[in-house]
């Protein structure tokens, strides 16, 4: 063994202790660490001939690289839809690295960590009140989850026309209907060889809505003259957290032949709360659902899961099986994750979620969801009270979409946001809503409190006064 490695091995405990202490210092100081950074680093670092050892590497990391990092797990990082990491999720994440399993098969040679993944999916189904007619597994994010689900949908579509797209490639136009797809679904259509522009846009409902217009959907379905199609629907659009009407879509499902996919990246967690579960009523009728865990479940990146109805397991295996050999036996008995997902080798990605669910239970997550929604309302009220801001859409759940009031101020929105983000006290993302430039604040982090809203509103008022609106 190389002497440096040997030294590291001997000092392992000391090294891990240092890393742990650094982690605790970072997390305890999250509120004071800026939410944005303009620091840069010269990335032309030369690879050492002789290594430095972990302790020296840690020192260099602190000096050169840590200044690039921001308080993204902190309470005022409201950009994108970003959760933080709860203590239990960090325990699970650390232990995934320590145990370093390659999570694939059940009841095969070489370990049974896939059972932990099965159990975690079972817990998630209970959290979301979904039936165990779904099977699921972990992927890196909702993008890969959409990819997995829509990959199976693609195979289903081919089968309706007597074709095997997985084996022979796509030989027919695949009909996709959707109203307000997330950009990652379009990326998925590109990756699947369907084409990111090859979908039919269904209208959104009247009024300030991003949900699918059911009448227009049915019109578009009728225009297909009985041909099969794939419907990509939304449980939580990013701008305004709007939901398609899943009861109506369920009713259509009994009349027409289609694959129903739901992108529920963050909105799926509405199911956890008595107050908000009506948004997802009827979603159990879907063929596939994509859900992120690194958003509202507050586990570290990269964590998401897919759900596909068990009845489609053969289509899923046809799409993702890792060999050309026909799959032998009962697919549910000889289950191996590498035959149902894009990745072959996989870390024990379920563990942070398992720890979180066991540690905090249904009540813990209901609390996070309801508190986030309450904070969104609170922030929205503060904006309404200041005549220089205006909400672009009603606040349905946890996302607040707003802008500077007055069309004449549209060209100042970007400048305002840049100055706000430059304070390092808060981070929000720009958006466009109904042709208006706006800003989105998303409440998902378990640490966010009312005090944070006070801090942010104060910064916002200072900047807008300074901009002289
Ligand atoms: C965030 C998000 C995605 C993409 O998820 P990643 O985790 O970034 O891959 C997809 N759909 C919706 C609705 C999202 O909010």
pLDDT tens profile 290-301: 999 999 999 999
For 418-439, what is the mean pLDDT? 97
Span 142-159, pLDDT tens digits: 999 999 999 999 999 999
- Residue 208 in this model has a pLDDT that exceeds 90: no
Res 334: pLDDT: 80
Q: Is residue 435 part of a domain?
A: yes
Residues 136, 242, single domain; the answer is yes
Choice from 178, 265, 269, 397 to test ligand 1 binding pocket (greatest atom count within 8 A of CB): 265
- Residue 443 in this model has a pLDDT that exceeds 70: yes
Residue in the block written with tokens 């979180």: 356
Res 323: pLDDT: 75
Q: Which atom of ligand 1 is nearest to the CA of 236?
A: 13
- Residue 1 in this model has a pLDDT that exceeds 80: yes
Span 303-315, pLDDT tens digits: 999 999 999 999 9
- Residue 81 in this model has a pLDDT that exceeds 80: yes
- Residue 327 in this model has a pLDDT that exceeds 80: no
Q: Is residue 431 part of a domain?
A: yes
CB 379 within 8 A of CB 455: no
Mean pLDDT of the chain: 96
Q: Is residue 402 part of a domain?
A: yes
Q: Is residue 342 part of a domain?
A: yes
Res 325: pLDDT: 64
Q: Which atom of ligand 1 is nearest to the CA of 266?
A: 15
Q: Provide the CATH number for the domain around residue 327.
A: 3.40.640.10
- Residue 109 in this model has a pLDDT that exceeds 70: no
Of the residues 322, 337, 356, the one at which a domain ends? 356
| Cβ of 263 less than 6 Å from ligand 1 | yes
Q: What is the Cα gyration radius of the chain? A: 24
C-alpha dihedral (56, 16, 302, 314), degrees to nearest 10: 120
| Cβ of 149 less than 6 Å from ligand 1 | no
Edge-first strand listing for the sheet containing 399-404: 389-391, 399-404, 436-442, 429-433
Q: Provide the CATH number for the domain around residue 452.
A: 3.90.1150.10
Residues 333, 202, single domain; the answer is yes
pTM across the whole model: 0.97
Q: Which atom of ligand 1 is nearest to the CA of 301?
A: 7
For 69-79, what is the mean pLDDT? 97
Domain of residue 7, residue span: 3-69
Residues 323, 396, single domain; the answer is no
Residues 297, 254, single domain; the answer is yes
User: From atom 13 of ligand 1, which residue's Cα is the shortest distance away?
Assistant: 265
Q: Is residue 238 part of a domain?
A: yes
Of the residues 356, 390, 424, the one at which a domain ends? 356
Strands (E), 366-424: 389-391, 399-404
Choice from 79, 180, 182 to test ligand 1 binding pocket (greatest atom count within 8 A of CB): 182
| Cβ of 81 less than 6 Å from ligand 1 | yes
Q: Is residue 82 part of a domain?
A: no
Residues 192, 234, single domain; the answer is yes
Q: Which atom of ligand 1 is nearest to the CA of 145?
A: 9
Residues 289, 176, single domain; the answer is yes
Confidence of residue 330 (pLDDT cuts 50, 70, 90): confident
Separation of CA 34 from chain center: 23
Residues 8, 107, single domain; the answer is no
Distances (CA, A) of 67 to 33, 36, 55, 61: 10, 10, 18, 9
For 189-213, what is the mean pLDDT? 96
Residues 160, 306, single domain; the answer is yes
Q: Is residue 85 part of a domain?
A: no
User: From atom 14 of ligand 1, which residue's Cα is the shortest distance away?
Assistant: 265
Q: Is residue 246 part of a domain?
A: yes
| Cβ of 184 less than 6 Å from ligand 1 | yes
Residues 337, 460, single domain; the answer is no
Q: What percent of the chain has pLDDT over 90?
A: 94
User: From atom 2 of ligand 1, which residue's Cα is the shortest distance away?
Assistant: 265
Cis preceding linkage at 162, omega within 30: no
The Cα 368–Cα 372 span in angstroms is 6
Dihedral sign computed on CA atoms, order 307, 312, 318, 322: positive
Of the residues 329, 356, 383, the one at which a domain ends? 356
Residues 302, 434, single domain; the answer is no
Residues 144, 235, single domain; the answer is yes
Res 194: pLDDT: 97
Containing 454, the helix (H) or strand (E) segment is helix 450-466
- HSE-CB for 300 with a 13 A CA cutoff: 16
Confidence of residue 430 (pLDDT cuts 50, 70, 90): very high
Separation of CA 75 from chain center: 18
Res 90: pLDDT: 98
Res 123: pLDDT: 98
Res 22: pLDDT: 97
Residues 161, 200, single domain; the answer is yes
Q: In the chain, how many domains are there?
A: 3
């Amino acid at each position: 063994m190389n002497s440096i490695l040997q030294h590291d091995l001997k000092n392992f405990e000391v090294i891990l202790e240092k890393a742990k202490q650094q982690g605790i210092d970072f997390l305890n100081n999250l509120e004071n660490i800026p939410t944005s950074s303009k620091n840069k680093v010269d990335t032309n670092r030369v690879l050492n001939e002789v290594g430095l050892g972990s302790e020296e590497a840690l020192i260099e990391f602190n000096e050169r690289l840590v200044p690039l990092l921001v308080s993204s797990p902190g309470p005022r990082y409201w950009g994108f839809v970003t959760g933080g990491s709860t203590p239990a999720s960090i325990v699970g994440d650390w232990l995934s690295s320590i145990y370093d399993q390659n999570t694939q098969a059940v009841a095969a040679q070489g370990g049974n960590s896939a059972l932990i993944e099965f159990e975690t999916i079972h817990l998630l189904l209970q959290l979301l009140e979904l039936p165990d007619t779904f099977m699921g597994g972990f992927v890196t994010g909702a993008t890969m989850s959409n990819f997995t689900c829509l990959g199976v949908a693609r195979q289903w579509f081919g089968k309706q026309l007597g074709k095997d797209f997985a084996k022979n490639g796509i030989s027919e136009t695949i009909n996709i209907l959707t109203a307000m797809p997330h950009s990652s679904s379009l990326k998925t259509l590109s990756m699947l060889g369907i084409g990111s522009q090859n979908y039919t846009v269904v209208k959104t409902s009247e009024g300030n809505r991003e949900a699918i217009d059911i009448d227009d959907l049915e019109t578009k379905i009728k225009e297909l003259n009985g041909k099969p199609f794939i419907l990509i629907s939304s449980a939580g659009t990013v701008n305004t957290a709007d939901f398609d009407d899943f009861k109506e879509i369920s009713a259509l499902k009994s009349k027409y032949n289609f694959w129903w996919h739901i992108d529920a990246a963050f909105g799926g967690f509405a199911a956890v709360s008595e107050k908000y579960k009506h948004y997802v009523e009827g979603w159990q009728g879907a063929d596939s659902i994509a859900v992120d865990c690194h958003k509202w479940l507050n586990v570290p990146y990269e964590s998401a899961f897919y759900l596909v109805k068990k009845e489609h397991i053969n289509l899923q295996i046809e799409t993702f099986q890792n060999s050309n050999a026909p799959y032998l036996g009962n697919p549910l008995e000889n289950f191996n994750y590498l035959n149902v997902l894009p990745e072959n080798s996989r870390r024990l990605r379920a563990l942070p979620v398992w720890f979180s669910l066991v540690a905090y239970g249904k009540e813990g997550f209901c609390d996070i969801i309801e508190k986030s929604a309450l904070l969104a309302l609170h922030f929205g009220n503060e904006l309404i009270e200041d005549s220089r801001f205006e909400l672009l859409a009603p606040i349905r759940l946890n996302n607040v979409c707003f802008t500077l009031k007055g069309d004449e101020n549209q060209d100042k929105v970007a400048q305002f946001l840049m100055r706000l983000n430059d304070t390092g006290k808060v981070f929000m993302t720009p958006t466009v809503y109904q042709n208006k430039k706006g800003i989105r604040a998303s409440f998902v982090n378990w640490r966010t409190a009312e005090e944070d809203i006070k801090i942010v509103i104060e910064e916002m008022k200072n900047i807008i006064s300074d901009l002289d609106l």
